[in-house]
Chains A and B, each alone.
Chain A
Amino acid sequence: MLARPDTDSLTIYLDGEPLGARAGDSVAAAFLAHGIHTMRRTPVSGAPRGPYCMMGACFECLAVVDGEPGVRTCLAPVRDGMRIERQDGAHSLPHPP
């Protein structure tokens, strides 16, 4: 597990649950700081996956960030109030109104 002293100053939401984060964190790092490794389930077999490379190469840490699916959370800087949803299988496309 990875951890740090509690110095969170921002709040982000994972599937509606509030989580502390720090300016400078990527979304993936903020989750790791809370011991959250599982970010999504694969479209192929439904296997659980989490951050692997943390540098945008492996595409394992994909999630829905503020409504946008397939975002590499390791490259997405946290913003206060950001809403993240886990991706279960293939992501669905947002429909225009």
Chain B
Amino acid sequence: MTPDLLIVGAGPAGISAAIEARAHALSVLLLDENAAPGGRIWQALEARGAQDQDDAGGLQTLHAFRACGANARWCAGVWAIEPDDGTVFWSQAATAHAARAAFVLLCTGATERPMPLPGWTLPGVMTVGAAQIALKTSGLLPTGATWIAGQGPLPMLYAAQTLRAGGRLAGILDLSDGIAPLRALRHLPAALRNSSDIAKGLAWRRAIARAGVPWLSATALRAQGDGVLQRITFRAGNRDRSENADLLLLHDGIIPSVQITRALGCAHLWDGGQHCWKPKVDAWGVTSLPNILVAGDGAGIGGARAAALSGRIAALYAAQALGRIDVATRDAAAAPLRAAQARQRALRPLLEALYAPRPRLLDDAATVCRCEEVTAAQIRDAASLGCLGLNQLKAFTRCGMGPCQGRMCGSSAAEVLAAARGVPVAAIEPYRTRFPTKPLTVGELAAMATE
């Protein structure tokens, strides 16, 4: 099988790209690690049904995707891409597979920014996104001694969703910078181009207040317990507090998943507004490698609707490059998508200023690399011995060398190292990621089937 377009990831960007590509008669192969399409935002939406206007739009896109004629493979984890000829390798049902595509479109989305704090490795500490996935796929709701801590739109959305569904929360710890709203104010006029999303955020806040859930501005959060989370301590209103907790949900924004683009050797840029690395792409999503494209949050955080638009734009590029449409048709089709994209992105500078990640004054004892159990103190020690970047840090400490391959520590290890060296985070060399970017058994490899 040699599809015209091979798409990795079935979130809003991936499935929108598939629909657009099929409309121009491209053959499409789509791979996703999950059992069904939707990505995070539309996860299990086909099974649970639409709850609101946004869901209804998502469901419509999912139906269009199911009917578009794209070849989709589920529970299919991509572990390597050969950029020279566009061969993509993945594992599915204990067998490795490979297929060569004219264009590869990566729609691998984002992950929550790691938020290390003392005790965050205890069972019972999860991310807000993780709890939201449990809600969407399995209808799980918090039962009471649940605290949410961090900042950004997702904690508010999750709290509102879970309260509406009958869940109970002990409280929300707002770890954002108290003066951030003042700094963000100058972005408000531009953000009003997307006033519906602002209205949504304010409605979430009202729902949380109506439910009587305490909202506390806090610092110095720690998770504690004997083998499992039992309580949290924090500082709020000028006093130290200790509260019972059996579930702590953390969130500090989301950052692009760059494992595959890094391993491919694509050029990356530091995004100062979003405080993260992202692959360098042109207006069509083309990376520094001519046959590799990125659409959606994986190319910089823009949200679900912007992601869907960028997926369609990337598909138009592939359709023109493969001679299915001419340049004028492509450009005419892309123009309204770009205009809609600009409206969606209008909100980002306000959000970025409101929820800029706080400088992490990490406790020496806090684990930064969860896999290899490397603490902030060990990273600072390495810096004092002359360690300059993350690849040297591997040799000094094994930081980033466990099964998650640096996904959970890359950004925070870089911050600790940068602070210790007194340089900007962007000056710290990031992990040199290598394929396979997901674990692969010898048995899977031996059973390789070429499509």
Which B residues lie within 8 Å of A53 (CB)?
Answer: 111-112, 126-127, 129-130, 408
Nearest A residue to B34 by beta-carbon distance?
Answer: A75
Is A57 touching B111 in the complex (CB atoms < 8 A)? yes
Which B residues lie within 8 Å of A77 (CB)?
Answer: 35, 75
In the complex, per-residue mask of A45-83: 1 if CB is within 8 Å of any chain B CB, else 0: 101111111111111101000001010001101000000
Is A54 touching B123 in the complex (CB atoms < 8 A)? no
Is A1 touching B33 in the complex (CB atoms < 8 A)? no
Which A residues lie within 8 Å of B123 (CB)?
Answer: 37-39, 48-50
| Known contacts A48-B228, A50-B123, A75-B34: A55-B129 contact under CB 8 Å | yes
B44 part of interface (Cβ distance < 8 Å): yes
In chain A, positions 27-46 with a C-beta closer than 8 Å to chain B are 29-30, 32-33, 37-39, 42, 44-45
| Known contacts A48-B123, A59-B402, A75-B33: A3-B141 contact under CB 8 Å | yes
A33 to B125, CA, bound (A): 15
A49 to B47, CA, bound (A): 30
B138 part of interface (Cβ distance < 8 Å): yes
Nearest B residue to A52 by beta-carbon distance?
Answer: B126
B71 part of interface (Cβ distance < 8 Å): no
Q: Which of B134, B257, B407 contacts A58 (CB 8 A)?
A: B407
B371 part of interface (Cβ distance < 8 Å): yes
Which A residues lie within 8 Å of B40 (CB)?
Answer: 55
Q: Which of B138, B145, B403, B408 contacts A29 (CB 8 A)?
A: B138
Which B residues lie within 8 Å of A39 (CB)?
Answer: 123
A25 part of interface (Cβ distance < 8 Å): yes
Q: How large is the interface on A (under 10, 10 to 19, 20 to 34, 35 or more residues)?
A: 35 or more
Which B residues lie within 8 Å of A75 (CB)?
Answer: 33-34, 75, 77
B177 part of interface (Cβ distance < 8 Å): no
**Smallest CB–CB gap between B157 and chain A, Å?**
16
Is A30 touching B138 in the complex (CB atoms < 8 A)? yes
Is B140 touching A29 in the complex (CB atoms < 8 A)? yes
Which A residues lie within 8 Å of B144 (CB)?
Answer: 1
Is B404 touching A1 in the complex (CB atoms < 8 A)? no
A85 to B7, CA, bound (A): 34
In chain B, positions 225-262 with a C-beta closer than 8 Å to chain A are 227-229, 246-247, 257
**Smallest CB–CB gap between A43 and chain B, Å?**
9
| Known contacts A57-B111, A57-B404, A59-B371: A29-B134 contact under CB 8 Å | yes
Interface residue tally for chain B (C-beta within 8 Å): 49
Which B residues lie within 8 Å of A55 (CB)?
Answer: 40, 111, 129-130, 133
B146 part of interface (Cβ distance < 8 Å): yes
| Known contacts A37-B123, A58-B370: A24-B111 contact under CB 8 Å | no
Which B residues lie within 8 Å of A74 (CB)?
Answer: 130, 133
Which B residues lie within 8 Å of A26 (CB)?
Answer: 137-138
Which A residues lie within 8 Å of B439 (CB)?
Answer: 70
Which A residues lie within 8 Å of B257 (CB)?
Answer: 57
**Smallest CB–CB gap between A66 and chain B, Å?**
11
Which A residues lie within 8 Å of B137 (CB)?
Answer: 24-26, 29
**Smallest CB–CB gap between B204 and chain A, Å?**
20
Chain B interface (Cβ < 8 Å from any Cβ of A): 33-35, 40, 44, 47, 75, 77, 94, 111-112, 121-127, 129-131, 133-134, 137-146, 227-229, 246-247, 257, 370-373, 402-404, 407-408, 439
Q: List 8 A-B contacts (CB under 8 A).
A: A1-B145, A26-B137, A30-B138, A37-B228, A38-B123, A38-B227, A53-B111, A54-B127
The 3 closest A-B pairs by CB, nearest first: A50-B123, A54-B130, A37-B123
